[in-house]
Amino acid sequence: MSEAARARIAAFLAQPALARLLAALNGEGEATRVVGGAVRNLLLGEAASDIDLATTALPQETIRRGRAAGFKAVPTGIDHGTVTLVAGGTSFEVTTLRQDVETDGRRARVVFGRDFAADARRRDFTFNALGLDPEGAVHDYCDGLADLAVRRVRFIGDAASRIREDYLRILRFFRFHARYGAGAPDAEGLAACIAGRDGLPGLSRERVRAELMKLLVAPGAAATLQAMAGVGLLVPVIGGVPHLSRFAGIAQGGGEGVYPAFRLAALAVSVGEDALRLRERLRLSNEEFDRIARIAQALEGLAGGPDLPSIARLRHIALKAGSDAAAAALVLLHVSADAAVGEGVQGLVGALGRTPPFLPTGKDVVGLGIRPGPRVGQVLEAARWSWIEADCPAGAEEQMAFVAAAARPGRDA
């Protein structure tokens, strides 16, 4: 281990809340270590934000010791040995050492244990099984340090057996490769994922969504999705043909390209039916579905037209789908893995963003003598259309002139 890594570990263990908790949970026959992602990230020089601990203490003893040390105890998963201890706005998930007794591919029945090595070997990947004791020693029972050094995502033990324990590990394999891996995915792991693909339909849609959304924003997402598609494991997840080149182009950029919903739209959406399918397959949140559905609406509005739309056409689409969705759709139609969007697209997006607001409201229409009812909305819609065709003047008087024209008797609004 490098001196830099040792210094990071020392600083990490010296955090007051963590040091106090480890002191409380250790001793009098019990031992506790930091485990999992926090240890992995420390060794990689990355932030260790979520801190999980494994302990020989049973849950009730963990709660007793935590409270005695000034921590609030929340029994988040006490049936499975997990207690969350909170102090000063910092939370720690503490889980009693476990051994699997029975698995069905989705969940496991466990018994509590006292063997750190056995607990480590029941985890998914070698570098996720690393442990860190209060003295700063790293415990490696599965050659995780060697895999971490070359950024290889490798299942612990027999890959096929680990997948049969929980088929979500197929998606986790690709998600961790996209986040931490280098080069091609581990061959044994990849073969086991292919062999276990029939277990994917039995997973809860919420769990699949959570893994996919994390994968989509990982640094190696484009290459990893390409690998998944190449072995037939991407279509079963998204339920349609992926736009891999389009996704790769988005993944190369920054800005909005880091948002999971936008990346999902880049990968899997062309028309409104795609958004509906994704909502059903992945149990999207209302916010995610709204964003993706509006992008789909804008994509349909731009389809079949010239290579680059006029700014007026883009504004008409934005009026219905939203400016953010119209801009996103325009970018998606003109990005590829080989080239970023050109100046023409950038200019249109910039012009769309500078569009002044249309100020008149239904109250203004009623003020012109139109009775409240459906015609008020019709007049406003016609006024906005004419305003857009006139290049969107910003002045309130100029905008009201479009409303007045649309409200004239005999005018088809």
Which pLDDT belongs to residue 304? Answer: 82
Helix residue ranges per DSSP H, 196-342: 205-216, 221-230, 235-238, 244-252, 260-268, 272-282, 286-302, 311-321, 323-333
Instruction: Give the whole-number percent of the chain exceeding pLDDT 90.
Output: 86
Question: Residues 317-330: what's their mean pLDDT?
Answer: 96
Is the pLDDT at 235 greater than 90? The verdict is: yes
Question: Residues 196-223: what's their mean pLDDT?
Answer: 96
Which pLDDT belongs to residue 111? Answer: 85
Is the pLDDT at 154 greater than 90? The verdict is: yes
pLDDT in tens, 361-395: 999 999 999 999 999 999 999 999 999 999 999 99
- 262, exposed or middle or buried, with CB in 10 Å at 0-12, 13-18, 19+? buried
Give the pLDDT band (50/70/90) at residue 410: low
Residue 81 DSSP one-character state? T
Is the pLDDT at 256 greater than 70? The verdict is: no
Sequence-ordered list of residues with C-beta below 8 angstroms from that of 191, at least 6 positions apart, any chain? 159
Q: Where in the chain is the domain with CATH 1.10.3090.10?
A: 157-235
Give the pLDDT band (50/70/90) at residue 114: very high
Sequence-ordered list of residues with C-beta below 8 angstroms from that of 30, at least 6 positions apart, any chain? 55, 56, 57, 61, 65
Amino acid identity, position 255: G
- Give the domain 157-235 fold: cca-adding enzyme, domain 2 (1.10.3090)
Least confident piece of the model among 65-79, 135-149, 192-206, 333-347? 333-347
Name the CA radius of gyration of the chain, rounded. Answer: 28
Give the pLDDT band (50/70/90) at residue 107: low
Is the pLDDT at 338 greater than 90? The verdict is: no
Tokens of 279: 């909502």
* Cα four-point dihedral sign 197, 203, 207, 213: positive
204 in the Ramachandran plot: left (φ > 0), alpha (ψ -120 to 50) or beta? beta
Give the pLDDT band (50/70/90) at residue 310: very high
Residue 77 φ/ψ, nearest 5 degrees: -150, 50
Give the class (CATH, top level) of 1-149: alpha beta
Average pLDDT over all residues of the chain: 93
Q: Where in the chain is the domain with CATH 3.30.460.10?
A: 1-149
Which pLDDT belongs to residue 88? Answer: 87
Please, how many CA atoms are within 13 Å of residue 405, restricted to the half-sphere of its CB? 13
Higher-pLDDT residue of 156 and 339 is: 156
